[in-house]
Amino acid sequence: MLVDISISDLGVIESSAAELSQGLTVLTGETGAGKTMVVTGLRLLAGCRADASRVRDGASKAAVEGHFSSDSPAVAALVEDAGGEPDENGEYIASRTVSAAGRSRAYLGGRSVPAATLGEFASHLITVHGQNDQLRLLSADQQLAAIDRFEPSIEKSRSAYTEAFRQWRALAKDYQHRMESRREMAQEVDRLQFAIKEISDLEPEPGEDAELVALIKRLQDVDALREGAATALSALDGGEGFGDEDTAVNLVGAAESALTGASDAELTRLGERLSEVTTQLTDIAAELTTYLSDLPADPNLLEESLQRQQELKLLTRKYAADIDGVLAWRDAAEAKLATLDTSTEALEALKKEVMEAEKTMVAKAEALTAARTKAAKKLGAQVTEEIHGLAMPNSTLTAAVKKAKYSKTGADEVEFQLNGKPLASAASGGELSRVMLAMEVVLASGDGTTLVFDEVDAGVGGRAAVEIGRRLARLSTTNQVICVTHLPQVAAYADSHLHVSKEKFTSGVADLTPEERVEELARMLAGLDDTETGRAHAQELFDRAQAEVETFRAPSTH
């Protein structure tokens, strides 16, 4: 919902602001006063093209700012993604400036954004219907969406179709890809099979390459390692070059015995420490014995290890930096190979799946088409009934559901027709606006969208004007509605009446009191504001319309 709008230096409006209430707000004023500039400002907030010619003469730039209130998660996400945030009132501020040189800037939630982002934001919150607009219901996709929106039960059929279409398309793409690239896939299969066999034949173990590096280093130094370990063992526990009495274990043991049982506490403590040393020397001698027995004795092991290292390097040069990576590559290759079955049997099986999925999709599409055709007939009848009361008594609106290519939305396209011809070409600007009004009345959903109607009452008067006012008021029970009008019959139904007045070279917007509204209605009644009869007529019109509005607002008793 649009809470308020402020405009400066746009057209004839130097500076003006207006608060907008829920329900129906009308803008009135004499020709040239600037009513169109208010709608132009709304269009700028909706992301429409900026026109430098709209900047007021003598001003450097025009600016429009609007405060919007919305509980929509989509709106909140869009603003957040743009880097903006709501203000302290929880409202979103959108603004647009246009320089006299034609440069345009857009802002959303306190951040500068592209005009397209502002347009996307506004698309959730405001829709402008005017004779010169590209009305949203003129596009084929929006006409289809209108049918689906009109009949909520269609959602179930559409969801079922969409899922069937997604499955069919995925299978069909897979089958087409396999058929088109059968030769390349066969070559890929051969390559993967060769690589997997090459790796598997060598049977590498995780971390084996690192272990080989350590083993080869030990084998290359084995003689020196053996000699060092043997010498150390002899020194500790006897052997070549050392007498049994000269070993470290025996000598330390003799020293320990000499101190054991001494009457002096200090010597006893030192004896205990020598006992610990004796134990450690004995343990080291045992470990050296084990180390010597474990040293490789096979004279061919070094050559075999070097050969194995070269074999593993062939793999690491081709597939990954180390053996762990090679094994991971093989696992991924095996997984990919499982998806590359190009055999005739596999392709035939996939083809059957595609055909079954297509049958399911077609059946779901037919059910969706049937639901849409039924809804289209009902929608056409209701809109036709509405436009008959809007000075189009001889017009008939139909919604033709036609066959189209299968897509994510179905196998249908919809064309709104007026008296058998496409709506876009069969209706005048004023008729289009009235058809859009009728459509919005029928489709009204209370989705929080602000609907703006510019000159929806062009070319009508009398009873038709009353009907337009009545429908706008009824529509405003579910959506905020803003309407630019020159008809008192329409203005009388408003909840809020804004008057655009012109003084010399500038214009301003004022929110009228009930008394001022009656005076404005009298002026609109062919300039009868200066007569008692005119004011009486205006008061009667106002009272009757407001009484009817109260019935629209009252809770239903049914």
In tens digits, the chain (558 residues) has pLDDT values of 898 899 999 988 888 888 888 899 999 887 766 777 888 888 899 888 888 888 988 899 999 999 999 988 999 999 999 999 999 999 999 999 999 998 999 999 999 999 999 989 988 888 887 655 545 667 888 899 889 988 989 999 999 999 999 999 999 998 888 887 777 877 888 899 999 999 999 999 999 898 898 888 877 877 788 778 888 888 887 766 555 667 888 888 888 888 887 778 888 888 888 888 888 988 998 888 888 887 777 778 788 888 998 989 999 999 999 999 999 999 999 998 887 766 778 788 899 999 999 999 999 999 999 999 999 999 999 999 999 988 888 999 999 999 999 999 999 999 999 999 988 787 776 677 788 888 878 887 666 788 888 877 777 777 888 888 998 998 898 889 999 888 999 999 999 999 888 764 555 678 899 999 999 999 888 776 677 888 899 999 999 999 999 988 776 544
By the 10 Å C-beta count (0-12 exposed, 13-18 middle, 19+ buried), 420 is classed as: exposed
Which tokens belong to 132? 């010169």
* Domain residue spans of the chain: 207-320
Please give the pLDDT value at position 339: 79
Please give the pLDDT value at position 156: 94
DSSP class of 477:
T
Q: What is the full DSSP assignment across 181-231?
A: THHHHHHHHHHHHHHHHHHHHH---TTHHHHHHHHHHHHHTHHHHHHHHHH
Tell me how many degrees the CA angle 341-343-349 measures, rounded to the nearest 5. Answer: 85
By the 10 Å C-beta count (0-12 exposed, 13-18 middle, 19+ buried), 408 is classed as: exposed
CA distance 319 to 207: 15
Please give the pLDDT value at position 182: 74
3-class state of residue 241 by DSSP? coil
CA distance 517 to 521: 6
Number of H helices, E strands in the chain: 19, 15
Please give the pLDDT value at position 192: 92
CA distance 169 to 166: 5
First-to-last CA distance in the chain? Answer: 29
Which tokens belong to 521? 């209605």
3-class state of residue 68 by DSSP? strand
CA distance 475 to 458: 19
Cβ neighbours around 90 below 10 Å, total: 9
Helix 140-150 / helix 344-388 crossing angle, nearest 10 deg: 80
Please give the pLDDT value at position 457: 72
Please give the pLDDT value at position 558: 41
Please give the pLDDT value at position 325: 93
Please give the pLDDT value at position 538: 92
